[in-house]
Chains A and B, each alone.
Chain A
Amino acid sequence: MKVDVEGTLKRIESYKGVIGTIVVNAEGIPIRSTLDNSTTVQYAGLLRHLAAMARSSVRDIDPQNDLTVLRIHSKKYEIMVAPENNYLLIVIQNPCE
């Protein structure tokens, strides 16, 4: 199982334009990252809250529904946040590349 995770993350990281990937566990602690520590901690903290808010919005509208991906496009890059089993996968990419 662990080998699959590594393989998947490596595949994502090898895509052109991917600036960084972060995996956050259920406690909000980043357990894997390709970015430096302070950036990782900042992204993990902020995006965890945003994803939780997006998820509760989706559920408020329809309790049978659930969030699959949150995509945040900004001027400089795109952040994709995918929650799964209380974990969080964060990928930052430059969509122009």
Chain B
Amino acid sequence: MAEVEETLKRIQSQKGVQGIIVVNSEGIPIKTTLDNSSTVQYAGLIHQLVLKARSTIRDIDPQNDLLFLRVRSKKNEIMIAPDKDYFLIVIQNPSA
């Protein structure tokens, strides 16, 4: 658990990082550096997106799997690292 905390702290300290959210397999945020309403909003939307991205990859090739997702927009970049039981969302401002 301490290692997880250390990793999250390290990511949080990177220049430009606006927020970090850890979501469990049900889409429930279990850790966050953002306010509650933003967290819930991000978690819900990103959860759906990850499921869709994963099934897209598998539809194309059932032997393949999703490793990482980057959603770059005009204002920021959302990076999502899905795992078996959780996924990690990091929101950053790439120009910072």
Contacts and interface: CB of A to CB of B under 8 A. Distances in A.
6 contacts: A50-B56, A61-B41, A65-B76, A71-B69, A72-B56, A76-B64
Interface residues of A, number: 26
Interface string B43-75: 001101100110011011101111111111111
B52 A50 contact: yes
Contact of A70 (B45, B59, B71, B75): B71
Contacts of A49: 52, 56
Contacts, number: 77
B86 interface: no
Q: Looking at chain B's contact residues, is the secondary structure mostly helix, strand, loop, or mixed?
A: mixed
Contacts of A53: 48-49, 52
Contact of A43 (B48, B60, B67, B72): B60
Interface residues of B, number: 28
Contact of B73 (A46, A50, A65, A76): A65
A74 B65 contact: yes
Contacts of B48: 53, 57
A46 B61 contact: no
A68 B73 contact: yes
Given A70-B69, A71-B70, A71-B72, 13 more contacts: A53-B49, A57-B49, A57-B71, A60-B41, A61-B42, A64-B75, A65-B76, A68-B72, A69-B72, A73-B66, A74-B57, A75-B67, A76-B64
